């Protein structure tokens, strides 16, 4: 249950961290979309481990293969299965982890729910599950012609970049491995992340994302609001604890007369708003202004410090994180946030097509 | 599209603000649940307008009728249709609203999406849509035996109550119409809301909610995480701009070593955690600790000040809110947040039953 | 569960036979469709009881009201709730039925599934449940411009009309209350049905239906084949025991060389086939030739003869049908078959729009 | 779209006939089910081509691999991806097929729907798509403890076996490659199929299936009736043209007084019925009597005789089937029918668990 996302462009991800493979099947992809393994690989490479000194040392090439649904470089309208084999497995000794519950990990809740779990590398709860999401998102982006989705790291722990006046360029974002487009802040973030690793500790932060170029009217007014589907998409990512769109929590401290976005015409005579406190959505539907949201990521649960916990037979034990892990998940989460945003966007687009006779 | 919530306990709401009726149909309610119109009415009365000086003056009795699915006081397992007729309609003159887009309302996006809208009282985008949610939530609460869902107003504009040490009681919350359990703060909030109304302005704030008594293991590990479904449920409510669970955005500023919740045994020998930064979920599944989240509500878009906007034919016009409205939606949103939380809880419970052979 | 039909044009029906009301909510109806209560009433009148000497004597006006989703004669794109109040209730004494299981009725299986049932008039298992389907089908037909759906009674018991060379006209079908367009056969059917009623017995038969004007390419190639969705729709109707499309069971006795439909061009230069053994579908998708199918209906379970059965406490008892019922359900099932076909058609159309960028 | 089956035990199949692989992903499989690749392989071997002289000569080992969701021989509750690589590809020259529409094949409708198709071996419309179904069915059978699903060939063309008095044993069915348990009829069927192949022709027939051991009360009363879901499942199989349950079309020619199944107690004091014209379902729910249904399969569309048809540019052309194909699909369809029945059964079982608190 719960491994399927999207009503129209329907993505099912599969795979455990140390099983044979991870990947996804996409059902509902429109036909005639040009897509290649290299299009997908480019996005996978952005989330790949082992990219820099601030990420995990697990070394996976994460080479994808399209098993079905694409013929002569174009989608057939049939299910697209994309598979990445797991290579750099350290089967090693998971006996310890199998017998206890690591703090703030899902070991305990897996045991509570299923009475069984794959202890190797977190099993299904590994960040490797997101490979299927990124692969599907790469296909979704191809469909969203004219739409630019840009995510970046806005804060790490207490370090927060200044408010942006424009959407950062890909170059600005990728200038450093931390994917914060404000260079002075980025450098401090890198220092902090390295320091956290040295201390055997971890840090969290906030990713911001903008979707530009969406037409007005996407999303539905009641339960399937564009922002509701975004919120679900983002909170479905590992380690996330919050979501806000537009003015978000800060907007709760404004008066209505200041918060309201005034409609006006832009230089081309198109409808726009003077401000975008709404974050690009009104009543659950897009306004054509940038959809602008933030996602909160908690500090990585795996730390190299010794912690108290319980064993499966309810005895107090000590545990110390030994696996390869990211001291800060945010830089690698940037393409994942974008992928999920793309999935939400494509589904809203197809939903709108369905009612347009 | 988008008027259906829940895969198991499936709620479809219907109705426009000034149409004949609003309500819901619940498909998938288990049989043999004891429920009466008065159980539902009690919850509807909590969200009813005209309750106090700080809410809208629209006067609706909101009397519900169960049209189907209940026989001799018990659910049959068949669809439950609950209907509330709209009474206090001011058909009046909606010609003005029909021809323009009110700032930060859904008028523009409805027109963009559907090329048609019901201008009377916001049509489907009215808060009256939530009647169906509250009615369905009342049934859901009956199923969630042993679960206590408690929401309250934590902040209004800049006024924020002190951190709670325990979940407030219903009596504390309902001591004032603003539904903030901290009396000194509540009094200031009421003053502020009255002042906002006098000024023709509006205010927003934050609602906090706790679900206590849920067993461990509810929710699914990937897309249908308990917190993801909660986030979707909350962001599907009108005027919401943010959601956070547990430590939320503040947690992004903590180190992992402090953020991690240490497993231990409680006085009864049950598994618990020393802290609850997780907010009651790990890996998308409940831990049995309270599920603890916050929802951000923007200031009401309808204000009595004159504002610039555009007409449907793209001419600059002025608009001034004349309708009856709440200067602050939070007090009446408290039971709605609880209802949506109950719908998430019931669906997670039934999902878990489905895989338990 | 199971009271929802259709992924795009999503219909939820509700209501028990002797509850307050029956009806449906449609979510996903496109906006700007012209629809009125009289459009729906016309279809409801076709399935209404008390129309002739060969149907039940229950007298219901079945007057519908559109509670939501329609404004100034056009659909809004929001949920359409259509309600019919139950009037001619004979609350009378259902104590007997409540305590036993009528042969070939759903009393036993309801008790097995839910441990509770509404014994009044069959509760949810009444033919009155189909009112919601017919109402929704009336809306669906409005969307299917250029599509003509025609159902008729092809056989009753051993009486079968000759093979048709063309689709019968509405006039031919409605010339007699039995809705068989071949007059000599129709007259014999009416005699047989009257005789069955006199004998306290009942008869079954076969309804044939054709959908003309559907474009090629509707339906999906694997699970959601057009004919699979039709089969589900038809077998979801009370009293149905079989479905066949095109050559059906008879086609299993032909050789491939004769069964294959040869592609050719019609007089307008459009692709057609010389024969239509396929029944208008190939590989699950429409060919643009008429979709042509049959549905088998068993003889009505309620008969006025005394039968052996069991009481709920497993004692042998006698039962005799006393309620008002149809000795042959087929004539009134004609508009219901059409309604379900329309729902399948609209969903396939919207599905196709969703993938057409 | 349309490549997903089941709301609880959700199967997505993927793969084209001559792509890299075919298979399925199962989401919603309960945890702790013992399953191995050999369990799945056993079922796949039953549908494998090249088994006998009466099936296609395409030689595929169809070796399956479980890529995820199973750990130490037990299901984890996470998605199970099962993959079979395509080996015996004859890439050869599909240029001819790519340019025309074979009679009674899906070439034309694929072109109409998608404007693109994979011409190699029928692409997605190949019988190889059913590999994923059989694999998923093998897992489903493991969950349905105490349930025996038995399918067999009842008729081929005009050859029909005598009515059975009991469910045939696996040994009786598998005594000949045609899978008809009545030996004299089976021998004639084999002769006929061989003769059809020699003549370059093909034959169809009827498969019968029984599900024994299902508890009473599975399935839902309205749209998701057990028989409706079965009908959809069966009509979703390639080459199917009809479905009937219990008395089926023949039952339409009986009077109600004879058709009704009288409730009585069996020798163990359990509720049963004297006859089973219902085919094991009443009001859409199982009665605990065998679910008994038939599926009509048309003669194989591919024949080795020359036929007229149209090219994609609407020119009259000749076509002759050259590929490897089955002159009669029924023997290999037997395990596929069983697999789909198992999927329906598991979903109904899980649906029932969900509402049982």
Answer yes or no: do C356 and A355 touch at CB < 8 A: no
Per-residue model confidence (pLDDT) at position C304: 94
Residue pLDDT tens, chain C, 357 long: 799 999 999 999 999 999 999 999 999 999 999 999 999 999 999 998 777 778 776 677 899 999 999 999 999 999 999 999 998 766 666 888 899 999 999 999 999 999 999 999 889 998 999 999 999 999 999 999 999 999 999 999 999 999 988 999 999 999 999 999 999 999 999 999 999 999 999 999 999 999 999 999 999 999 999 999 999 999 999 999 999 999 999 999 999 999 999 999 999 999 999 999 999 999 999 999 999 999 999 999 999 999 999 999 999 999 998 766 789 999 999 999 999 999 999 999 999 999 998
Per-residue model confidence (pLDDT) at position C238: 97
The helix/strand/coil state of D15 is coil
Res A58 pLDDT > 80: no
Answer yes or no: do B354 and D354 touch at CB < 8 A: yes
The Cα D198–Cα D181 span in angstroms is: 25
Q: Is D268 exposed, middle or buried (0-12, 13-18, 19+ CB in 10 A)?
A: exposed
Answer yes or no: do C116 and B32 touch at CB < 8 A: yes
What sign has the CA pseudo-torsion B196, B202, B203, B208?
A: positive
Total CB pairs under 8 A between chain A and B: 377
Give the relative orientation of helices D330-355 and B330-355 as an angle to the nearest 10 degrees.
130
Pairing of strands B159-160, B281-282: unpaired
Q: Phi then psi for A292, rounded to 5 degrees?
A: -130, 110
Decide: D70 and D80 in contact? Cβ < 8 Å. yes
Which residues in chain D are contacts of B8 at CB distance < 8 A? 354
Q: Which residue has the tokens 């039971």?
A: B335
Per-residue tokens: B180: 């903030």
The Cα B82–Cα C19 span in angstroms is: 13
Q: Is D190 exposed, middle or buried (0-12, 13-18, 19+ CB in 10 A)?
A: buried
Per-residue model confidence (pLDDT) at position C48: 87
State which residues of chain D have pLDDT below 50. none
Pure H helices in chain D:
37-47, 95-99, 107-114, 130-143, 170-174, 183-198, 226-235, 248-251, 256-259, 330-355
Q: Which residue has the tokens 């609602």?
A: B207
The CATH number of C4-356 is which of 3.60.150.10, 3.40.30.10, 3.40.50.300, 3.10.20.740?
A: 3.60.150.10
The helix/strand/coil state of A341 is helix
The Cα D103–Cα D105 span in angstroms is: 5
What single string gives the DSSP state of each residue in C285-314? Answer: EE-SSPEEEEEEEPPPS--SSEEEEEETTS
Whether D270 has its CB under 8 Å from any CB of chain C: the answer is no
Identify the CA nearest to B285 among candidates B214, B350, B355: B214
**Nearby residues of C43 by Cβ (< 8 Å), 6 or more positions away:** C134, C135, C137, C138, C141, C335, C339
Closest CA–CA distance from residue B96 to any residue of chain D (Å): 43
Q: C222: nearest CA in chain A?
A: A78
Q: How far is CA A220 from CA A351, B243, C164, in A?
A: 9, 19, 46
What sign has the CA pseudo-torsion A165, A170, A173, A175?
A: negative
**Would you put residue A2 in left (φ > 0), alpha (ψ -120 to 50) or beta?**
left
Decide: B124 and C76 in contact? Cβ < 8 Å. yes
Q: Which residues of C260-288 are buried (b: 16+ CB within 10 A; e: fewer)?
A: bbebeeeeeeebbbeebbbbbbbbbbbbb
The helix/strand/coil state of C273 is strand
Other beta carbons within 10 angstroms of residue C222's beta carbon come to: 28
SS3 labels along A140-168: HHHHCCCCEEEEEEEEECCEECCCCCCCC
Q: Which residue has the tokens 């209560």?
A: C37
H or E element: which one contains A35?
A: none
pLDDT tens digits along B21-65: 999 999 999 999 999 999 999 999 999 877 777 877 667 789 999
Confidence of residue B323 (pLDDT cuts 50, 70, 90): low
Answer yes or no: do B353 and D351 touch at CB < 8 A: no
Identify which of D12, D28, D77 has the shortest CB distance to residue A79: D12
Return the residue in D26, D69, D141, D355 with the most chain B beta carbons within 10 A, the one to mutate for interface testing.
D355
Which residues in chain B are contacts of D77 at CB distance < 8 A? 355
Q: Which residue has the tokens 């969703």?
A: C354
**Nearby residues of A267 by Cβ (< 8 Å), 6 or more positions away:** none
Per-residue model confidence (pLDDT) at position B357: 86
Q: How far is CA A30 from CA A67, A246, D321, in A?
A: 17, 31, 30
Closest CA–CA distance from residue B8 to any residue of chain D (Å): 8
Q: Where are the domains of chain C?
A: 4-356
Whether B78 has its CB under 8 Å from any CB of chain A: the answer is no
The helix/strand/coil state of D273 is strand
Q: D6: nearest CA in chain A?
A: A1
Closest CA–CA distance from residue C117 to any residue of chain B (Å): 6
User: Is the complex ipTM higher than 0.90?
Assistant: yes
The helix/strand/coil state of A208 is strand
Answer yes or no: do C110 and D285 touch at CB < 8 A: yes
Closest CA–CA distance from residue C40 to any residue of chain D (Å): 21
The Cα C99–Cα A331 span in angstroms is: 67
Give the relative orientation of helices B330-355 and B37-47 as an angle to the nearest 10 degrees.
140
**Would you put residue D6 in left (φ > 0), alpha (ψ -120 to 50) or beta?**
left
Chains contacting chain B through 3 or more C-beta pairs under 8 A? A, C, D
Per-residue tokens: B32: 């043999």
Whether B252 has its CB under 8 Å from any CB of chain A: the answer is yes
What single string gives the DSSP state of each residue in B254-270? Answer: SBHHHHSPPEEE-TTS-
Q: Is A34 exposed, middle or buried (0-12, 13-18, 19+ CB in 10 A)?
A: exposed
Answer yes or no: do A310 and B264 touch at CB < 8 A: yes
Q: What letter would DSSP give residue B31? A: T
**Would you put residue B34 in left (φ > 0), alpha (ψ -120 to 50) or beta?**
beta
First to last CA, chain B: 33
- According to DSSP, the residues that pair with D74 across neighbouring strands are D34, D71
Interface of D with C in 107-166 (CB under 8 A): 108-110, 112-114, 124-125, 129, 155, 157-158
Q: Which residue has the tokens 């449609």?
A: C26
Per-residue model confidence (pLDDT) at position A227: 98
Question: How many Cα atoms within 13 Å fall on the side-chain side of residue B197?
Answer: 17
Per-residue model confidence (pLDDT) at position B95: 84
Q: What letter would DSSP give residue C129? A: G
Decide: C55 and C202 in contact? Cβ < 8 Å. no
Query: Is this prediction's pTM over 0.90?
Result: yes
Q: What letter would DSSP give residue A24? A: E
The Cα C104–Cα D282 span in angstroms is: 6
Go through chain B and tell me how many residues it has. Answer: 357
Answer yes or no: do B31 and C76 touch at CB < 8 A: no
Chains contacting chain A through 3 or more C-beta pairs under 8 A? B, C, D
- According to DSSP, the residues that pair with C320 across neighbouring strands are C306
pLDDT tens digits along A123-168: 999 899 999 999 999 999 999 999 999 999 999 999 999 998 899 9
**Nearby residues of A300 by Cβ (< 8 Å), 6 or more positions away:** A202, A203, A204, A239, A325, A326, A327, A328, A329, B256
Per-residue model confidence (pLDDT) at position C345: 98
Q: What percent of chain B has pLDDT over 70?
A: 97
């Amino acid at each position: 249950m719960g491994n399927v996302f999207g009503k129209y462009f329907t993505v099912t991800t599969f795979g455990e961290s140390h099983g044979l493979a991870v990947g996804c099947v996409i059902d509902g992809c429109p036909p005639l979309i040009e897509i290649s393994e290299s299009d997908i690989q480019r996005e996978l490479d952005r989330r790949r481990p082992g990219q820099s000194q601030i990420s995990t040392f697990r070394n996976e090439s994460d080479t994808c293969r399209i098993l079905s649904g694409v013929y002569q470089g174009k989608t057939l309208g049939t299910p697209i299965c994309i598979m990445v084999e797991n290579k750099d497995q350290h089967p090693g000794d998971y006996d310890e982890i199998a017998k206890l519950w690591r703090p703030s990990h899902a070991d305990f809740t897996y045991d509570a729910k299923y009475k069984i779990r794959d202890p190797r590398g977190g099993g299904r709860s590994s960040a490797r599950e997101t490979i299927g999401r990124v692969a599907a998102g790469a296909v979704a982006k191809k469909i969203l012609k004219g739409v630019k989705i840009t995510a970046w790291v806005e804060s790490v722990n207490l370090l927060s970049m200044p408010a942006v006046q424009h959407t950062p360029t890909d170059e600005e974002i990728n200038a450093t491995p931390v994917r914060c487009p404000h260079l002075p802040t980025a450098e401090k973030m890198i220092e902090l992340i390295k320091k956290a690793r040295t201390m055997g500790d971890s840090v969290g932060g906030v990713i911001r994302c903008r979707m530009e170029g969406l037409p007005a009217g996407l999303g539905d007014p009641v339960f399937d609001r564009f922002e509701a589907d975004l919120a679900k998409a983002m909170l479905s990512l590992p380690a996330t604890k919050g979501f806000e769109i537009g003015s978000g929590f800060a907007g709760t401290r404004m008066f209505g007369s200041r918060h309201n976005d005034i409609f006006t015409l832009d230089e081309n005579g198109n409808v726009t708003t003077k401000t975008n406190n709404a974050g690009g959505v009104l009543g659950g539907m897009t306004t054509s202004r940038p959809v602008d949201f933030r996602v909160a990521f908690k500090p990585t649960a795996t730390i190299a410090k010794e912690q108290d916990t319980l064993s499966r037979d309810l005895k107090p034990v000590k545990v110390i994180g030994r696996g390869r892990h990211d001291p800060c998940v945010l830089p690698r989460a940037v393409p994942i946030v974008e992928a999920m945003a793309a999935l939400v966007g494509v589904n809203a687009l197809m939903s709108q097509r369905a009612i347009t006779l």
